[in-house]
Structure 1
Amino acid sequence: MSSVAGPGYCRWPQGSVLVMSNRRLPCLDTYLDKALIYLWPRFKTVFDMYIQSLYQCDAKMLWVDGTHPHHIVRCYMEFTASLVQLNAECGDGQLDMSLKRLRLAVDDLLVRFAEKFATKKLQHLFLLNNCDMAISILKEAGEEAKELRRYFEEKLESNLVSFVDELLMEYFGDLIKFVKNHISEDLISYTECPNIADVEPVVKNFAVKWRTNLELMHNEVVTCCSNFVSGMAILKAAMAQLLNDYNRLSECVKMIPGGPSLNRNLVSITSISYEIRKYSRTL
């Protein structure tokens, strides 16, 4: 990678031309033009080799069995952030295009790494942690990296939503499935009309396990997220979704024939909210 980054650390030939022009010193124009003609093709050749190596590498050999950010992605982000900053004054379109191609190659490698994990939950967590690390590095690069940072922010948000869905399905699967299959978002209509036999096991199972599962879910997120802020965002999203889905279940119980007989098994929304606030204070 050092050979790829080399020209950049010389402030990039175009940058040198700009500096000399601003200082009204044209005496080195010919030399700098020749340097650019010599360096750029070599830079592009090495850069293309770097991109090709990412596509051709054996993901199985480089994969690490853990969901924390991968060292190759960190190297890519630090390298990219440096070039983005160096190119800020010059606005070299060729370099911008090369960086986009590099991003696509790293995206491809990330997907191949993610596929090595056994569950979708771990796949989304791995991608989420890598995107989070990318955003942290790009923030240090300042405004010049805002476009690339926005790309990873959108990617992080998408994986966060998917991870929350998988997390809730693991710990509160019967509740999530029931709400998704039977109750519309407006709480007025049913996508599939339930009866007391459908809803009773869901209500009773939640009443017995909700506190334990909430704690387990909290502990998992705190342990597996590489960034405290992202972990907090995941927990807030998961708990808000859980509260919303249980509220929809409670409303469903009131509306179906025989539903009031389950009132003693329903957990109050206040109790769930109180428990969620306790965890929120520990984030």
Structure 2
Amino acid sequence: MNKVLSAYFHVYVEALEGLKLDIGVSSDLIGYDTNMVDLITRGREHLRSHRFMFSLGERANILKHIDQPGLVPRISEANSLKYPYEVIFRSLQKLLMDTASSEYLFVEAFFGEESLFYRVFEGPFAVIDEHLNITLPNCHDAVCLMLMICITRKHQLVMSNRQLPCLETYLDKALLYLWPRFKTVFDMYLQSLYRCDVKMLSVDGTRPHHIVRCYVEFTASLVQLNAECGDGQLDMSLERLRLAVDDLLVRFAEKFATPKLQHLFLLNNYDMAISILKEAGEEAKKLQRYFEEKLECNLISFVDELLMEHFGDLIKFVKIHICKLKKTVAQVHVIVVTHRKKTENDSFVFLAEDLISYTEPPNIADVEPVVKNFAVKWKNALELMHNEVVTCCSNLLSGMAILKAAMAQLLNDYNRLSECVKMIPGGSSLNRNLVSITSISYEIRKYSRTL
């Protein structure tokens, strides 16, 4: 019987190997640059599989249908079907579970000797061990390996529900094969991020980088699988991976000539990360909040740089002269959409502020050129800001949120300037040059409506 079952499993394993869809090779790491050289030398199919290997997508469905019948190789071959290796692995273990369950019950009922079962299945276990020893060292798909771990854990639960202990040793051994291989591949991914030579990597302007996308998709996949069947082993590994991508993003950003472009590059990447993590569900909330905080910090810095470029004299005047302010009653409402809050009725409430002290007391000569320069160029500058942000931001809604944050800050700073003009000697002579807050608010609303 041992020989019969061994031959049966050997034939099934060989047939399944012919159905395997090759996903990834040893060089397919997160820090791998899919550039035009690879497109020419390795082909479009390889590049598609490179991106596919980091994303969970529909591959997660295998865990929802863990008890479905295994593959029938003849039918799959007739339809020219290929499968990721985790599908083949589940089919092989499904056959083993069902065969072992029936044989174990038979041996117990007729012979009452459990050791006889292990003698009968010594051959099939050896066939599967040999198959895994050959296959796993050549598996470079960490998502596949994690899926196999989840499949094995679910199969442990199936056998527990059947109240059959006959595969306990085998399934524990399978996990001992899978975890070390997963950690080896994971460490290869991790090191690829640190070893990235950003000087040699292609960058598509300030748009999100494909390496960062691979990281986020891979992390979202692991977070979902960790919630499905994790035991805490992944938590520290995911933290190490996040630190590595933080380091890579900083190195990428340093390639840009100005702080403004650096912050814009980071904003686009953080925004992309948040969008992917939102799709991953509740399990990814913690990491999503982390990237939202990073986005918020960079948004403030980017707005400062953007305003300094277009309204430098105004921003410098406010920073140099105005130190301490108190709030008064006047309010101006501007429709604002932020990254985290997007409802029709949201409004930004601006509070006019009265000057009560100065770092350096301004005089009419300090204020006059700032007021007159603003009056001449403010509309054109707003349009330039709008065009730049909408063009350079990879996500239109996020770009508009950034633009409105900049306009709200501009409104705030200009109101400070207006209050200052009213309080300095001779300031009334500049009243005809001051642009009313209402006019600026109206212009800002026009950009709000472009959504």
Q: What TM-score do the two structures reach when normalised by structure 2? A: 0.60
- CA distance 1:108–1:26, shift in 2 (3 Å): farther
* Matching residue within 263, 268, 271 for 2:431: 263
Misfit runs of 4+, over 3 Å: 21-28
* Paired position in structure 1 for 2:242: 103
Contact 1:196 1:256 in 2 (8 A): yes
* Matching residue within 245, 254, 269 for 1:130: 269
Structure 1 segment 1-283 matched on structure 2, within 5 A: 1=29, 2=53, 3=140, 4-10=142-148, 12=150, 15-16=153-154, 19-20=157-158, 23-27=161-165, 28-186=167-325, 187-283=355-451
Aligned equivalents of 2:438 and 2:273: distance in 1?
39
Deviation of 1:90 (Å)? 2.6
Contact 1:77 1:138 in 2 (8 A): yes
Deviation of 1:6 (Å)? 2.1
Aligned equivalents of 2:164 and 2:300: distance in 1?
55
Structure 2 SS opposite 1:207: helix
Contact 2:156 2:168 in 1 (8 A): no
Residue-by-residue CA offset, 1:202-231 (whole Å, 9 max, x unaligned): 000000000100110011111111112211
Deviation of 1:31 (Å)? 2.0
Contact 2:152 2:174 in 1 (8 A): no
Aligned equivalents of 2:186 and 2:196: distance in 1?
15
Structure 1 SS opposite 2:425: coil
Contact 1:85 1:144 in 2 (8 A): yes
More strand by share: 2
Structure 1: stretches of 5+ with no match in the other structure: none
Aligned equivalents of 2:160 and 2:214: distance in 1?
33
Deviation of 1:23 (Å)? 3.7
More helix by share: 1
Deviation of 1:24 (Å)? 4.7
- CA distance 1:208–1:170, shift in 2 (3 Å): same
Aligned equivalents of 1:228 and 1:17: distance in 2?
46
Contact 1:18 1:90 in 2 (8 A): no
Contact 2:274 2:288 in 1 (8 A): yes
* Paired position in structure 1 for 2:107: none
Aligned equivalents of 2:150 and 2:442: distance in 1?
57
Higher mean displacement: 67-76 or 176-185: 176-185
- CA distance 1:191–1:22, shift in 2 (3 Å): farther
- The code of the aligned residue for 1:282 comes to T
Higher mean displacement: 10-19 or 244-253: 10-19
Residue-by-residue CA offset, 1:159-217 (whole Å, 9 max, x unaligned): 11111111111111100110111113512111211111111100000000001001100
Instruction: Give the length in aligned residue pairs.
Output: 283
- The code of the aligned residue for 2:146 comes to G
Contact 2:322 2:357 in 1 (8 A): yes
Structure 2 SS opposite 1:62: coil
Q: What TM-score do the two structures reach when normalised by structure 1? A: 0.95
Residue-by-residue CA offset, 1:104-154 (whole Å, 9 max, x unaligned): 111111110000000000000000100110011111110011111111111
Higher mean displacement: 90-99 or 4-13: 4-13
Higher mean displacement: 63-72 or 198-207: 63-72
What fraction of aligned residue pairs are identical, expressed as a percent? 81
Structure 2 SS opposite 1:87: helix
